[in-house]
Amino acid sequence: MAEIMVLGAGMVGVSTALALQARGHHVTIIERGTPGRETSYGNAGLIQTEAVEPYAMPLAPGALMQIALGRGYDVKWTPSGLLSQLGAVFNYALNSLPAAHKRASVTWGKLIRQSTERHGPLIEAAGADNIIRRNGYIELHRTPAKMEKARKTADRFLTEFGVAARLIDGRELRVLEPSIRVEVAGATHWSDSWNCSDPGGLVAAYAALFQKRGGRVVNADAGDLHRKGAAWMVDEAEAEHAVIALGPWSPMMTERFGLKVPMVYKRGYHRHYHMDAPPHHPIADFGNSVVLSPMRRGLRIATAAELTPHPRLTPPQLKHGEKAARELFEIGAPVEAEPWTGRRPCMPDMLPVVGRVPDQPNLWAHFGHGHQGFTLGPVTAEILADEISGGKGWDALQPSRLKR
Ligand SMILES: Cc1cc2nc3c(=O)[nH]c(=O)nc-3n(C[C@H](O)[C@H](O)[C@H](O)COP(=O)(O)OP(=O)(O)OC[C@H]3O[C@@H](n4cnc5c(N)ncnc54)[C@H](O)[C@@H]3O)c2cc1C
pLDDT tens track for 184-219: 999 999 999 999 999 999 999 999 999 999 999 999
Write down the pLDDT at residue 262.
Answer: 97
pLDDT tens track for 1-36: 899 999 999 999 999 999 999 999 999 999 999 999
Question: Average pLDDT, stretch 128-153?
Answer: 97
Q: Which of 40, 244, 397 to mutate to test the pocket of ligand 1 (most atoms within 8 A of CB)?
A: 40
Tell me if 247 CB under 6 Å of ligand 1. Answer: yes
Domains and CATH numbers, the chain: 3-44+200-260+348-403 (3.50.50.60), 52-99+108-113+125-196+264-346 (3.30.9.10)
Q: Which of 344, 353, 376, 397 to mutate to test the pocket of ligand 1 (most atoms within 8 A of CB)?
A: 344
Radius of gyration of the chain (CA): 21
Asked if residues 377 and 10 have their Cβ atoms less than 8 Å apart, the reply is yes
3-class SS of residue 211: helix
Question: Average pLDDT, stretch 371-383?
Answer: 98
Tell me if 254 CB under 6 Å of ligand 1. Answer: no
Write down the pLDDT at residue 58.
Answer: 87
Which residue in 236, 189, 247 sits closest to 15, CA to CA?
247
188/175 Cα distance (integer angstroms): 14
pLDDT of 353 above 80: yes
CA–centroid distance, residue 106 to ligand 1 (Å): 24
Tell me if 115 CB under 6 Å of ligand 1. Answer: no
Tell me if 265 CB under 6 Å of ligand 1. Answer: no
Count how many residues are written for the chain.
Answer: 404
Burial 315-328 (b: 16+ CB within 10 A, else e): bebbebbbebbeeb
209/374 Cα distance (integer angstroms): 17
CA–centroid distance, residue 246 to ligand 1 (Å): 8
pLDDT of 310 above 90: yes
- Closest residue by Cα to atom 2, ligand 1, is 43
Tell me if 32 CB under 6 Å of ligand 1. Answer: yes
Tell me if 137 CB under 6 Å of ligand 1. Answer: no
369/265 Cα distance (integer angstroms): 11
CA–centroid distance, residue 147 to ligand 1 (Å): 32
112/107 Cα distance (integer angstroms): 9
Measured from the CA of 37, which atom of ligand 1 is nearest? Answer: 49
CA–centroid distance, residue 46 to ligand 1 (Å): 14
Sequence-distant (≥ 6) Cβ neighbours of residue 242 within 8 angstroms:
4, 5, 6, 7, 225, 232, 234, 362, 363, 364
Measured from the CA of 302, which atom of ligand 1 is nearest? Answer: 1
Q: What percent of the chain has pLDDT over 90?
A: 95
Q: Which of 37, 193, 354, 371 to mutate to test the pocket of ligand 1 (most atoms within 8 A of CB)?
A: 371
Asked if residues 339 and 83 have their Cβ atoms less than 8 Å apart, the reply is no
